[in-house]
């Protein structure tokens, strides 16, 4: 009797059948439902990456001029267009309202918190905003924070943010030069600058082309997007 | 025991100072219940003296009468109105049981009978209370009906009725004189909590809420520290209000110990709104206010809000508006750009830079955290403005790409070169 059971069990857990789905069926586990996602506002990224998860931490990182701020502005614009109330926790006080408005961000729906070069204040503020509830998107911009300072933010702090945003309809986005949240991030997007476009006999900055690579979850997926500036504005 | 004031001035306010049961009998007559005041003041004469004293202080010119029933007091106050020329006339205190005797000399016109009845009584030669009171009840009922009977009862001072009380005008302010000066915030919050609880209970019993709290702290140095908290929507959340007061006082502490606390609220109707089922969620207003106050305590005042670009060509000009106050849910959506726009990330303040010029264009840039050879540049974008004011500006902007691939916006003004921000 015992041997038969053992044989049946071993036949079930062969490497081929050992998937989360079969295990869930075998032990009666319930699969965690996939989180609801919201679009980034960049069609190429939405098609390739599938949007940003609600109730999760999305980390966008990359070097300067890699399209991080443009992507963030696009995300904020999409969220405010949906009628959601958004918050931007600006650790280095670097937000430019004019370019955000040009990107389509409805500034009357955006709460801007200027943390005056204090990453610790930014973390506390983001925590308070998430705890307060009601925001569709909370973005924490550490993009100009020196990497050494950003690295000093402990994983515990990131974990607390992740737990705070979990089971809420809020999208938490962190922008930085390097990945800091590590395992606490539900989605990690790495921005890489490809090239800047200059046109005309009298050179004119037309925009940049950036590549966004999904580092987590699952396998790497890459998408490119273009962000235009003066050339489009002068047309 | 009832008191009646007949005259001019703010009679109602004076009456409410002595009794919660006040009847506005006529525009110039107020009747109020003074039962129980004998325990506070003593004899009816002392009660009348206290009312007279307060009337003099408040500038009320009226005739005062006290009687065992309201109508006798009214008759006495109206009938004996031609006394002293100023201040409180009287007081006339009618002993219980002797009302008819006391009122007997008054003319019947004090009772304001109907014209027909008055004519009949005139013809009978009945002109004073005592003559009316002496008539037999049965005969009056037969000849003059119920009105005549009632007139007779009034003339005898026998009418027993209850007052039709006025509602006390709501006053949503409380004050507390402290026994000793308070220096710390925590004990002050205990006092504020007590005042706030009372005010909010008063509001709740009347189905009201508040959208403004006005705090006045009397200080030991005789100055007053005033703070006003405004809420975007009316609410009745005592804990949130107390926390808001705490955060506000922590940010703006009184300069001296507190000896007197006065708190007032603005009574308004509570806001009832039905949100749409498919409308995106928004922060709860009172909770948001509390969150913003907490954040403001961390990052400093004026650093939290909704940015609004100013209508000027001055680069980067904006102002911070209070978040969630001005119709944020109703502003129309602007046109969405066809492709993502390149965002500018500013350095506040701009980074002072050393720029070497090669062939009339920037060739090398060095600033804090920014250093490299310029591989591509566009510009200059020449702008100037506000030259007619005391704060003019004039600059040449350049978009540059450095050898490390980063894009920056630099500008040159009379004071030198600066890195304004990076395109990201």
Cβ-based burial of B388 (10 A; exposed 0-12, middle 13-18, buried ≥19): exposed
Q: What is the DSSP string of B79-123?
A: HT-SS-SSSEEEEEEPPTT-HHHHHTTSBGGGG---HHHHHHHHH
Chain segment B263-287, per-residue pLDDT in tens? 999 998 887 777 777 777 788 888 8
Sheet with B173-182, strands from edge to edge, namely B173-182, B258-268, B209-219, B224-235
Q: Which of B279, B333, B406 sits opposite A65 (nearest CB)?
A: B406
Q: What is the mean pLDDT of residues B83-112?
A: 75
Specify which residues B173 forms β-bridges with. Answer: B264
Shortest Cα–Cα distance, A185 to chain B (Å): 22
Shortest Cα–Cα distance, A54 to chain B (Å): 13
Strand A221-228 and strand A204-216: the pairing is antiparallel
pLDDT band of A41, cuts 50, 70, 90: confident
The reported pLDDT for the residue numbered A29 is 62
The residue among A89, A93, A108, A203 with the most chain B CBs within 10 A of its CB, best to mutate, is: A108
Of A158, A103, A111, the C-alpha closest to A138 is A111
Please answer yes or no on whether A81 and B336 come within 8 Å at the CB atom: yes
Q: What is the mean pLDDT of residues B200-225?
A: 92
Residue A235 above 50 pLDDT? no
Question: Is B162 in the A-facing interface, judged by CB distances under 8 Å?
Answer: no
Q: What is the mean pLDDT of residues A149-168?
A: 92
Q: What is the mean pLDDT of residues B219-234?
A: 91
Task: Give B204's contacts (C-beta < 8 A, 6+ positions apart).
Answer: B236
| % of chain B surpassing 70 pLDDT | 94
- The Cα A67–Cα B423 span in angstroms is 8
The reported pLDDT for the residue numbered A207 is 83
Task: Give B136's contacts (C-beta < 8 A, 6+ positions apart).
Answer: none
Q: What is the mean pLDDT of residues B152-167?
A: 85
CA distances from B54 to A142, B17, B159 (A): 67, 9, 29
Specify which residues B258 forms β-bridges with. Answer: B182, B219
The reported pLDDT for the residue numbered A234 is 41
The reported pLDDT for the residue numbered A227 is 66
Cβ-based burial of A227 (10 A; exposed 0-12, middle 13-18, buried ≥19): buried
Please answer yes or no on whether A73 and B280 come within 8 Å at the CB atom: no
Q: How far apart, in Å, do the first and last CA atoms of chain B sit?
A: 84
- The Cα A190–Cα B275 span in angstroms is 39
The reported pLDDT for the residue numbered B341 is 85
Q: Which of A107, A124, A207 sits opposite B342 (nearest CB)?
A: A207
Name the B residues in 345-384 with CB < 8 Å from any A CB.
Answer: 345-348, 376-378
Residue of B nearest to A81 (CA): B333
Residue B56 above 70 pLDDT? yes
The reported pLDDT for the residue numbered A111 is 94
Chain segment B328-387, per-residue pLDDT in tens? 444 455 566 667 888 899 999 999 999 999 988 999 999 998 999 999 998 788 989 989
Residue A230 above 70 pLDDT? no
Please answer yes or no on whether B424 and A65 come within 8 Å at the CB atom: yes
Q: CB pairs below 8 Å between A and B: how many?
A: 216
Q: Which of B282, B333, B341 sits opposite A81 (nearest CB)?
A: B333
The reported pLDDT for the residue numbered B84 is 43
- The Cα A19–Cα A156 span in angstroms is 31
The reported pLDDT for the residue numbered B330 is 47
pLDDT band of A26, cuts 50, 70, 90: low
Residue B257 above 80 pLDDT? yes
Residue A14 above 60 pLDDT? yes
The reported pLDDT for the residue numbered A232 is 47
Please answer yes or no on whether B306 and A99 come within 8 Å at the CB atom: no
CA distances from B79 to B56, B63, B66, B104, B274 (A): 21, 9, 13, 10, 58
Q: Do B126 and B152 touch, CB atoms closer than 8 A?
A: no
Which has the minimum average pLDDT: A105-119, A185-199, B243-257? A185-199
Q: What is the largest CA-CA distance in chain A?
A: 86
Tell me the backbone φ, ψ of residue B64, rounded to 5 degrees.
Answer: -110, 135
Q: Which of B283, B327, B341 sits opposite A102 (nearest CB)?
A: B341
The residue among A67, A72, A111, A140 with the most chain B CBs within 10 A of its CB, best to mutate, is: A111
Angle at B143 between CA B138 and CA B146, to 5 degrees: 75
Strand A110-114 and strand A86-90: the pairing is parallel
Tell me the backbone φ, ψ of residue B200, rounded to 5 degrees.
Answer: -70, -35
Residue of A nearest to B326 (CA): A108
pLDDT band of A78, cuts 50, 70, 90: very high
- The Cα B15–Cα B22 span in angstroms is 7
Q: Do B22 and B11 touch, CB atoms closer than 8 A?
A: no
Chain A residues with CB under 8 Å of B406 CB are 63-65
Shortest Cα–Cα distance, B392 to chain A (Å): 20
- The Cα A229–Cα A70 span in angstroms is 10
The reported pLDDT for the residue numbered B249 is 93
Strand B258-268 and strand B209-219: the pairing is antiparallel
- The Cα B313–Cα B393 span in angstroms is 10
Residue of A nearest to B321 (CA): A108
pLDDT band of A128, cuts 50, 70, 90: very high
Residue B226 tokens read as 């005033």
User: What b/e sequence results for B320-345 when a residue is b if at least 16 CB atoms lie within 10 Å of its CB, and e otherwise?
Assistant: ebebbeeebeeeeeeeebebbbbbbb
Chain A residues with CB under 8 Å of B323 CB are 111
Chain B residues with CB under 8 Å of A228 CB are 337, 339-342
- The Cα A106–Cα A76 span in angstroms is 8
Chain A residues with CB under 8 Å of B296 CB are none
Listed as own residue / partner, the contacts of B199-203 with beta carbons closer than 8 Å and 24 or more positions apart are B199/B172, B199/B173, B199/B174, B199/B263, B199/B264, B199/B265, B200/B236, B200/B238, B200/B241, B200/B265, B202/B170, B202/B172, B203/B172, B203/B236, B203/B265, B203/B267
Query: CB atoms < 10 A from the CB of A196, how many?
Result: 22
Mean pLDDT for chain B? 87
Please answer yes or no on whether B341 and A103 come within 8 Å at the CB atom: yes
Mean pLDDT for chain A? 84
Chain B residues with CB under 8 Å of A96 CB are 316, 343-346, 421
Residue A203 tokens read as 């050179």
- The Cα B173–Cα B66 span in angstroms is 32
Residues in chain A: 235
The reported pLDDT for the residue numbered B58 is 84
ipTM of the complex in this document? 0.84
- The Cα B197–Cα B188 span in angstroms is 14
- The Cα B304–Cα B194 span in angstroms is 31
Tell me the backbone φ, ψ of residue A37, rounded to 5 degrees.
Answer: -115, 155
């Amino acid at each position: 009797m015992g041997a038969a059971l053992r044989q049946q069990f071993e036949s079930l857990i062969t490497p081929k059948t050992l998937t989360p789905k079969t295990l869930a069926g075998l032990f009666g586990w319930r699969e965690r439902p996939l989180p609801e996602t919201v679009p980034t506002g960049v069609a190429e990224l939405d098609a390739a990456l599938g949007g940003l998860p609600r109730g999760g931490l999305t980390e966008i990182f990359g070097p300067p001029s890699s399209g991080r701020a443009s992507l963030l502005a696009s995300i904020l614009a999409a969220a405010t267009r949906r009628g959601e109330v958004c918050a931007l926790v600006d650790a280095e006080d670097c937000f430019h309202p004019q370019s955000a408005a040009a990107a389509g961000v409805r500034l009357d729906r955006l709460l801007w918190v200027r943390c005056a070069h204090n990453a610790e204040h930014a973390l506390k503020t983001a925590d308070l905003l998430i705890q307060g509830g009601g925001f569709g998107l909370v973005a924490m911009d550490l993009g100009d924070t020196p990497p050494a300072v950003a690295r000093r933010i402990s994983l515990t702090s990131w974990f607390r943010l992740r737990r705070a945003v979990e089971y809420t309809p809020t999208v938490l986005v962190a922008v930085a030069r390097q990945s800091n949240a590590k395992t606490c991030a539900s989605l990690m997007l790495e921005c890489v600058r490809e090239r800047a476009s200059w046109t005309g006999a009298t050179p004119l900055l037309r925009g940049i082309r950036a590549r966004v690579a999904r580092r987590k979850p699952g396998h790497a997926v890459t998408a490119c997007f273009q962000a235009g500036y003066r050339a489009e504005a002068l047309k | 025991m009832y008191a009646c004031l007949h005259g001019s001035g703010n009679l109602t306010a004076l009456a409410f100072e002595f009794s919660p049961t006040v009847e506005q009998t006529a525009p110039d007559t107020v009747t109020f219940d003074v039962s129980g005041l004998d325990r506070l003041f003593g004899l009816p004469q002392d009660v009348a003296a206290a009312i007279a004293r307060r009337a003099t202080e408040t500038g009320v010119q009226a005739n005062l009468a006290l009687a065992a029933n309201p109508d006798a007091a009214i008759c006495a106050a109206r009938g004996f109105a031609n006394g002293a020329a100023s201040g409180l006339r009287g007081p006339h205190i009618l002993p219980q049981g002797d009302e008819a005797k006391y009122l007997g000399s008054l003319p019947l016109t004090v009772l304001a009978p109907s014209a027909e009845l008055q004519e009949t009584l005139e013809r009978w030669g009945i002109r004073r209370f005592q003559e009316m009171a002496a008539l037999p009840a049965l005969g009056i009922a037969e000849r003059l009906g119920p009105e005549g009977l009632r007139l007779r009862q009034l003339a005898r001072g026998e009418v027993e009725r209850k007052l039709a009380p006025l509602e006390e005008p709501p006053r949503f302010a409380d004050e507390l004189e402290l026994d000793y000066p308070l220096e710390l915030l925590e004990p002050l919050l205990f006092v504020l909590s007590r005042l706030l609880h009372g005010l909010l209970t008063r509001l709740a019993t009347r189905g009201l809420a508040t959208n403004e709290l006005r705090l006045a702290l009397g200080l030991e140095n005789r100055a007053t520290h005033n703070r006003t908290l405004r809420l975007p929507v009316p609410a009745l959340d005592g804990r949130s209000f107390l926390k808001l007061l705490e955060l506000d006082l922590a940010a703006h502490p009184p300069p001296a110990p507190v000896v007197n606390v006065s708190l007032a609220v603005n009574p308004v109707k509570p806001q009832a709104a039905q949100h749409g089922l498919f409308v995106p969620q928004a922060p709860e207003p009172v909770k948001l206010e509390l969150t913003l106050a907490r954040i403001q305590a961390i990052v400093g005042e004026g650093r939290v809000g909704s940015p609004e670009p100013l209508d000027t060509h001055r680069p980067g000009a904006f102002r911070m508006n209070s978040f969630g106050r001005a119709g944020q849910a109703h502003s129309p959506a602007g046109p969405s750009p066809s492709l993502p726009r390149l965002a500018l990330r500013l350095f506040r303040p701009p980074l002072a830079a050393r720029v070497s010029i090669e062939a009339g264009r920037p060739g090398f840039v060095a600033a804090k955290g920014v250093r490299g050879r310029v591989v591509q540049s566009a510009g200059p974008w020449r702008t100037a403005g506000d030259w007619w004011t005391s704060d003019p500006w004039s600059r040449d902007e350049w978009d540059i790409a450095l050898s490390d691939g980063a894009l920056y916006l630099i500008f040159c003004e009379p004071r030198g070169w600066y890195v304004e921000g990076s395109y990201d």
